[in-house]
Structure 1
């Protein structure tokens, strides 16, 4: 159903993470652990690429592009996008919890103790 959409989004995220002024890019998707899908779909976090080096040649501890897999719905079965709606609040809650946690983590790393919030949130869904 997606054709090359997933590959495009992953490559765009990698490219964005290497741009000056962009510290982190997170892609949210559903975490699934079942024999019908690749084992990696069960991993909660997958680094796609490290972020750019800072002026000292160091990489930021949490910089880069990541796939963040949020558990929602039955974890042991793949569900098509058309049947995910009853579980959407679980996804929203998981995504918000991740954003809140990362705002604190990034605040400690690069925000001088102040939370660092996302500048952009974009939504799209597809089967992958």
Structure 2
């Protein structure tokens, strides 16, 4: 007797895209003034058996300490990783200079394909000017 269930064809063909992100856990005005990158690594992984085309990846934050940015990706082949090389994200220095105490911010990465969307959230701490906390690498 066979104990395995038949594989659902639609499940096996579903694309599986993931966003891999490395960013600093803390950010302050000195980081902005010294152009310390907040976003250190960004890639899209395609773990499916099908190529994915015409993708849009965007980054937004709450509070809005960074300017929304969007990357257009032509294709991520099946089983491949697409490394995003343009990691320059514009920060709002005025907002960072107004901080009087640490504040937690949420950074969202949204990947859109056709009419569907996926979203990954990351959190980092915004620190007041003069804060001398450590940075995660």
Q: Indicate whether the TM-score tops 0.5.
A: no
Structure with the higher helix share, 1 or 2: 1
Q: Which has the higher strand share?
A: 2
Q: Give the structure-2-normalised TM-score.
A: 0.31
User: Larger Cα Rg: Structure 1 or Structure 2?
Assistant: 2
TM-score, normalised via structure 1 length: 0.32
